[in-house]
Amino acid sequence: MAPSKLKIAFQGVRGAYSHQACIEVYPDAEALPFNTFEGAIAAVNEGSADLAMLPVENSTYGRVADIHHLLPESGLHIIGEHFVRVHINLMGIPGAKLENMTSAMSHTVLLGQCRGFLRDQKLRPVTGADTAGSAEIIAANGDPLQGALASELAAEIYGLDVLARHIEDLDNNTTRFLVMSPEKALAPQSDKELITTFVFRVRNLPAALYKAMGGFATNGVNMVKLESYMVDGSFTATQFYADVVGHPDDPALSRALEELEFFTSKIEILGVYEADISRG
């Protein structure tokens, strides 16, 4: 019997940048769309999908809303990361002409990333639920005066013509995705650069965070991300999300994590995985 095809869940509709991330990392897998992050996570926990591809931050707009709350509570583990260069493309129904177009639909975030192009082309921005969903709507409407802003993958899926490519204002717009698995699979120590991701809560002590971070500085551990967010709807309950370079069994990181324990009420390692080559 042939082995079953790997299934990977993502939030959005077919043609979304999350779908593109799935294809780039697992080209032979079946990508399954879900309306919400919670739906994609539940699919993995329930066994209808093997993995989930979740966006966590964008180089222009920062972290993805709510995702840091979901990761620790998901029951899933990070086994990899992937960076997608977000290219924005204007597309329309077959036969549509750029010079005749009057409006462009997309997610509000994407509309904000190509203001210069929209202004120069005198295109009215129209807010859609998401990027690929906007392409789907434009294809269904069949109006040559309406365009969509999305990935080239979306144009291919919904039968649209790409009228202008790579129209984003910034030439380094990138989204970072995490590959989530139901199985805890920490990458082994190696010569490759590894990322350890963890969350923690500091004790209610004066200068607790400052002291907690001291162990990473004195041990020469490179902390590449540290973000805080409230938990349980309380202004005093703060959880921190951190990415550091190294493996928990590396002597320097091991000492830093041990020192961190003195000043925290909770530490949870979410994953240890190879750094994406795009980090360089």
Residues forming the active site? 175, 177
CB atoms within 10 A of CB 61: 13
Q: Is 216 helix (H, G, I), strand (E, B) or coil?
A: helix
> What residues contact residue 49 under an 8 Å CB cut-off, 6+ apart?
7, 8, 9, 32, 40, 43
- The string of DSSP letters for 31-60 reads EEEESSHHHHHHHHHHTS-SEEEEEEEETT
Beta bridge partners of 2: none
Taking 3-state DSSP, the helix, strand and coil percentages for the chain, each rounded to the nearest 5, stand at 30, 35, 35
Beta bridge partners of 264: 202
Cα Rg, the chain, nearest whole Å: 21
**Can you tell me which residue has the tokens 């919400």?**
36
Alpha-helical segments (H) within 12-148? 17-25, 37-46, 67-73, 108-112, 115-120, 131-141
